[in-house]
Amino acid sequence: MNLAREPHPLIHRLEAIADLSEQEKDALAHLPLTIREASADEDIVREGDRSSSGCLILDGMAFRYQMTDSGKRQILSFHFAGDIPDLKSLHLRTMDCSLSTLTPCTLACIPH
């Protein structure tokens, strides 16, 4: 995905709920991102991990989950392009749930 030529998913998502100034759009477009590919059913972050970055979904679908006492996954939420599903990792010492891909995903890691 070429963010320079395609609409930035985070800017697109935020503009659906609020007006952004050109300065805000420019700041979001220039966040330091590390792009990575993830295959389907791959954990991005696991419950108990200490995360040093947030994950912006550029393409694909992901979901947050916790393991039940019986060893099954309890899905908490689904996430799509433009979402940062582990944003709360900014405030948590360790993750309280896991984040996994449902489909192959293109992810942009944003350091805290």
Token pair of 81 as six digits:
């392009």
Domain map (residue ranges) of the chain: 33-111
How big is the CA angle at 84 (ends 44 and 74), to the nearest 5 degrees? 55
Express each pLDDT in 7-25 by its tens digit.
677 888 888 889 999 999 8
Burial of 86 (0-12, 13-18, 19+ CB in 10 A): buried
Helix (H, G, I), strand (E, B) or coil at 75: strand
Q: Return the pLDDT at 112.
A: 81
What is the C-alpha end-to-end distance of the chain, expressed in Å?
22
DSSP at 8:
-
CATH class of 33-111: mainly beta
Q: Enter the pTM of the model.
A: 0.78
